[in-house]
Amino acid sequence: MLRKKEKQIVSDFEHRKADPAGPSEISEAYDLGEAETFGKLMLRMFRENKLSAVSLLVILLMILCTILAPVLTPYGETDMDLLNRLQPPSGDHWLGTDEGGRDVLTRLLYGSRVSLMVGIVPTLLSMVLGALLGVMAGYFGQWTDTVIMRLADIVLAFPSMLLAMVIMYTLGGGLFNVFLTLTLMNWGSVARIARSETLRLKKSEFVEAARSIGVSKWKIIFRHILPNCLPTLIVLFTLNVPAAILTESSLSFLGLGIQPPGASWGLMVNTGRQFLYNAPWLSFVPSAAIMVAVLSFNFLGDGLRDVLDPRLRKQ
C-alpha cells in the first residue's frame, strides 16, 4: 500500500515537472544589464533625483570656489580698510564689508575652506573609526563589545561641549585640534549604529553562507557586513557634516576654534551678531552659506543612498 503511495508521490512529481523546453528563467529575471561604472552611477542619480544632482553641483561649486578664492577676489582674507567699515553691498564689495573693513565675500570664500574641511574631514574620520569599532563590537561580541561600547557610552554621556572645551583648552585652538575634537565627539553614535546594524546582519543567512564556505571573519566584516551598513552610514554622514559645521561655529564663538582674524563661517556669524541692526549682511551672508551647505549635504545623502543601495534601485 505504501509502495503505491510512493509511486503516487513520484508520479505527482513527474506530472508537475516542467516540459523539456521549460519556462525560460531569463524572462523571470529582471534584466538590468551590465555593471555600472561610477560615471554611469552618477548619471543615474542625475536622472532619478534632480535635487541631489543639484546639491552635488552646489557642493562641487563651493569646493571649487574654496580652492580658487585667491583668484576670485582682489582682496586678502585679513586686509583691513578702516575707512570703509560696515559698508553695505556695493560694486566694490559685493557683499559689503565688516567691522574691520574686510571684504565679506572674500572672508566667506576663505571661511568656506575651514567650514567645509571641518564639516567633511572629522566627520569622515569619526565615521571610519566609529564604523570599524562598531562593527567589531557587534561581530565579535563578548569582551570586545563590552570594552568598545562602554567607551562609546562614556563619549556619548559626556557633555560634548565640555569635552571639546577640555581638549581645546589643553591642546590649544587651531584646525588640527578642531578635527581631533570633533572626531572624538562623534565616533560614539556612529559606533552604536554600526553595531546594531552588524548584530542584525550577523544573523542573516548570507553571512552564514559566507561562513559556510570558509570565508574568514575579517573578510566577512569588510566584504559582507560593512557594505551592507553603508546606506545607513551614508545617511548618518550627511547628518553629521552639518552638525560638525555648526559645532565648529560654536567652538569658534567660544574662542576655542578658529582664531580671528582668520575666517570661518561660524566665526563670521558670531562677530556679525554685534552689528545685526546696522549691518545685518554680516551675519546673514555666512548663515545663508551654512544653510546652503547643510541642505546640499542632506539632499546629496538622500540621493546617494538611493543609488548606492541596489535594493532600492528602480526596476
Partner 1 sequence: MKEALIQKEVLILDGLCAGFPARRGEVRVLDHVSLSVPKGKITGLVGESGCGKSMTARAVMNLIRHPGRVTGGRILLEGRDLLSMRKKERRMLQGREMAMIFQDPMSSLNPVMKVGKQVDEAVLVHEHVTHAEAKRRTLEMLEAAGVPDPERRYHSYPHQLSGGLRQRIMIAMAMVCRPKLLIADEPTTALDVTVEAQILDLMKEMSAKGTAVLLISHNLGAIARVCDDVSVMYAGKIVEQADICTLFDRPRHPYTRGLLSAVSSLRDGSEVLSVIPGHVPNLARLPAGCSFSPRCSCRGKECMEKTPEMREISPGHRIRCLWEEPGKKPGEKELETEGLAAE
**Other CB atoms within 10 Å distance of the CB of residue 201:** 21
When binding is defined by CB under 8 A, the residue of 76, 227, 255, 280 that contacts partner 1 is 227
Q: Which of residues 119-148 bind partner 1 (CB under 8 A)?
A: 141
Encoded one letter per residue, x for contact with partner 1 by CB under 8 A and - for no contact, window 193-212 reads ----------xxxx-xxxxx
Which residue, 90 or 204, has its beta carbon nearer to partner 1? 204
Shortest Å, Cβ 295 to partner 1: 28
Q: How far apart are CA 82 and CA 97, in angstroms?
A: 10
Segment near partner 1 (CB under 8 A); pick from 47-55, 92-100, 218-226, 277-285: 218-226
Shortest Å, Cβ 233 to partner 1: 13
- Dihedral angle, C-alpha 101, 104, 106, 109, nearest 10 °: 150
When binding is defined by CB under 8 A, the residue of 60, 219, 278, 291 that contacts partner 1 is 219
Can residue 91 be called a binding residue for partner 1 (CB under 8 A)? no
Three-state DSSP state, 174: coil
Beta carbons of 282 and 263 less than 8 angstroms apart: no
Long-range contact set of residues 124-129: C-beta below 8 Å, sequence gap at least 24: 124/237, 125/179, 125/183, 126/182, 126/183, 126/184, 126/185, 126/186, 126/187, 126/190, 126/240, 127/190, 127/233, 127/236, 127/237, 127/240, 129/183, 129/187, 129/190, 129/191
Can residue 310 be called a binding residue for partner 1 (CB under 8 A)? yes
Beta carbons of 293 and 244 less than 8 angstroms apart: no
Shortest Å, Cβ 41 to partner 1: 13
Segment near partner 1 (CB under 8 A); pick from 8-16, 124-132, 151-159, 186-194: 8-16
Provide the β-strand partners of residue 103. 97
> C-alpha angle with apex 28: 25 to 30, nearest 5 degrees?
120
Shortest Å, Cβ 189 to partner 1: 23
Shortest Å, Cβ 309 to partner 1: 7
Beta carbons of 282 and 275 less than 8 angstroms apart: yes
Phi and psi at 97, nearest 5°, equal -125, 160
Beta carbons of 249 and 214 less than 8 angstroms apart: no
The C-alpha cell that represents 50 in the structure block: 534632480
Shortest Å, Cβ 225 to partner 1: 9
The C-alpha cell that represents 240 in the structure block: 553629521
Which residue, 159 or 310, has its beta carbon nearer to partner 1? 310
Shortest Å, Cβ 264 to partner 1: 37
Can residue 6 be called a binding residue for partner 1 (CB under 8 A)? yes
Can residue 20 be called a binding residue for partner 1 (CB under 8 A)? no
Q: Site for partner 1 (CB under 8 A): how many residues? A: 51
Q: How far apart are CA 7 and CA 9, in angstroms?
A: 5
Q: Which of residues 25-44 bind partner 1 (CB under 8 A)?
A: 25-26, 28-32, 34-35
Phi and psi at 103, nearest 5°, equal -70, 125
Which residue, 143 or 205, has its beta carbon nearer to partner 1? 205
Can residue 23 be called a binding residue for partner 1 (CB under 8 A)? yes
Can residue 90 be called a binding residue for partner 1 (CB under 8 A)? no
| Binding-site ranges for partner 1 (CB under 8 A) | 2-3, 5-6, 8-13, 15-18, 22-26, 28-32, 34-35, 141, 203-206, 208-216, 219, 223-224, 227-228, 230, 309-311, 313, 315
